[in-house]
Each structure stands twice: as C-alpha cells, then as structure tokens.
Amino acid sequence: MKLLSQSFEKDKSGSTTLVPQDKEDLWQLYNLIQKGDEIKLPTHRNVKKVTSGGGSGGKDKGKADRKLLTLKMSVEDIEYTPSDEVMRIRGRTVEPNEYVPIQSYHTAEVQFDKKFTLIKPDWDEISYGIIVSACSIEEKAEVGAVIMEEGVAHLCLVTDNMTVLRNKIEKSIPRKRRGEGGGGNHDKAMEKFLNMVSSTMLRNFDLTKLKAIILASPGFTANALYQNTINQAIQEENKLVIQNKSKFMVVHSSTGYLQGLEEILKDPSIQKQLSNTKFAREGAIFEEFQRVLNNDDDRAWYGPSEATKAVELGAIKYFMITDTLFRSDDIAVRKHYIKLTEEVKRQGGEVLIFSSLHESGEQLDQLTGVAVLLNYPVADLDEDEEE
C-alpha cells in the first residue's frame, strides 16, 4: 500500500490518501474502513443525459451516459470477497456534484493502483496501527528468506503477495581441490561467505516480528548457514537468535536465485508449514488457554464481561481477541475493545489479535471473539454483579 498523504493524529479526526496495490492491502482496508467514515474515490456511474425530444408534446428524454466521477460518500456498508479480490463501499454522497445529487446512494469499488482518500472521525490505535503496518514492507512482511548457493545469496522479505529483494551478496569461492583439508582455500572462503550472509541477515531481518525465516539452497549450503548462525549466536550469547531458533526453516531449492524461492513458496507442503509457523504463537497460546479452561482452575475465561472484569482487576497474562471485533459496525463496541487492549498493554499483559481467516481465530470467534488467560486464579468472573 502506498501512503500518498496523511493529515491526522492518533485519537483525533483526519484523513489519509492511499493507493492499494494487492489483495493483502484490501484485507487491511477491510479492517480499517468503518461505517460512519467518509471516502473520496473515482467511480463510474450512469448519468442521465437530457436531450431535446421530438415526440408528442415535445417532452425531453433522458439517455443514460456512463461517466467516471470522483464522489465523496459516507460509508454505510463494506463488502469484501477475498477470493474475488473485490471490495465494494456503499453509502450516500456528502458533497454536491453536477451529475449526482447530494445524499444519493452509490456503490463504488476500491481498485488496485487507484488512489482514494479516507476521512475518519477518530483515528484510534488500531486504525493507526493498520496504516503503519500496511504501508511499510518491514511491518507487512511475516517471512524472511535467504535463497543461496555457494558464493551468492539473496535476502528477501516476503508478504502474502510479493517478494522484495533487500540484499544480494556475492563472493568468489575457489573450487575445492582433491585432497584439500579443512584449512583449504575453499573452506576458508566459504566460512567468510557464510559469516557475511549471517551478519547481513541478522541486520536486515527483525527476528521478533518475522514469523518464519526460510533458508534455501541446492545441496547443503542453507544448512551450513543455519549451523553457522546458531554457532555464532551461542558463542556470542546472542539471546535474540537463540530464542527465535524455532523460526528457521531449512529447505531444498533447485537454484540459489529468486526463481528457486518462487518454486518453494508454491509448494503446498511448504505453504502449510509456513502457515503453521506464522500462526504458531497464537495457536500455542490458544491451546494453553483451552487446556487451562478444561482444568477449570479459574485462570481461563472467555466472554465480553468476563474479559472486562479481568482487565479491571489487572490480572491479565494473555488477552486474546479476533480482528472481527475491531471491524464491528458498533463504534462503541470497537472503542471498548481498543480501550481494553491499551489497558492490558499498560498493565504489562500481552495482547494477541487473532485473524478470523485462520483456524485458531475461527475457534476464538466461536467463543465470543475474546478470551483471557490470567496470571492467577480468579473465581466467579462469570457471575452477574447483581447476583
């Protein structure tokens, strides 16, 4: 997503002009645009063209003419179909136009590579965060990848719809001579090459934000890079790398160039592995929540009132919520949950926003969309205060 202009502050009204570039941007916009917002965008509309009539009575006749207009509308409904990559906005016009009367209903499509302006009465933390993540490749990327072979490595950031090359490393590696021992020129050059790739990777990849890191090559080069990275981390006591060790995936590719990465990302088994890795933390915490809930020891609760009471007590370890609740047409509901998540963060708890497009998010949606895992047992959170 391209950010062309921004004129707003957090928790205040204002506008931004954006250009969606892929289907991932549409998903972000679906979470961003709310009922009651205003949107200004190019759209086609059939406009009646008045012509002189020649029939009985000499009355004028209207002829429909399709025109490209720029309309400003108040949003009343948003339709989004991920499979068709289409998002439609329905609302009433709020600015006069020579062809369209004010307060006329119209449905417009948000289109790729076409700019539009979004005006919100309140840019809350969630809306602000969507703009930041959608317009930054570093924030948007969930997967890092190093596709390599002896002497060449390509470091990429991967989103659901694009691969961005961040660095290319090339180093001349002499051929290994017959009978050459561990101290030969080939092995020394390879060690320098792997050190260079490893240090560049750690400078460019944010291990805390990325959900997975693919290391791919023909032969054993990718595995050598993995071993080099882990061994250096142990020697240097690099806790960040050691803590994120499970995010690394070593896979085989037919080539060390970018077409090899394209082949890997199309492999169904790799796609499944990536999906599980990307959502591994949310899934693991949700499994822990289910296990504690089954044990019935008063540390796991779900439901709006139960979650609210737990936040008020300051007892939250994990606050789990689906993105569905942040898309609620009821602005009061949306604001309520934003306030809760901000309070949990202030208290030192962790907020996890589950995607409703993933299995764990679907399961959480079935449990009202919000659940909490507490630091200590609290009884009777589900009882009415009046009772």
The pLDDT value given to residue 61: 55
The pLDDT value given to residue 334: 84
pTM: 0.64
The pLDDT value given to residue 161: 61
Structure tokens at 119: 């005006």
Q: Which domains does the chain possess?
A: 2-45+67-135 (2.30.30.870), 144-274 (3.30.420.60), 278-374 (3.30.1330.30)
The pLDDT value given to residue 169: 96
Neighbours of 346 (CB within 10 A): 9
pLDDT in tens, 145-192: 999 999 999 999 987 666 888 899 999 999 877 665 555 788 899 999
pLDDT digits (tens), the chain, 387 positions: 888 988 887 788 999 999 998 887 888 899 899 999 999 999 999 887 655 454 444 444 567 788 999 999 999 999 988 777 889 999 999 998 888 999 999 999 999 999 999 999 989 888 988 888 888 877 778 899 999 999 999 999 987 666 888 899 999 999 877 665 555 788 899 999 999 999 999 999 999 889 899 999 999 999 999 999 999 999 999 999 999 999 999 999 999 999 999 899 888 888 888 877 777 788 889 999 999 999 988 999 999 999 999 999 999 999 999 988 988 878 788 889 999 999 999 999 999 999 887 788 899 999 999 999 999 999 988 776 544
pLDDT in tens, 4-15: 988 887 788 999
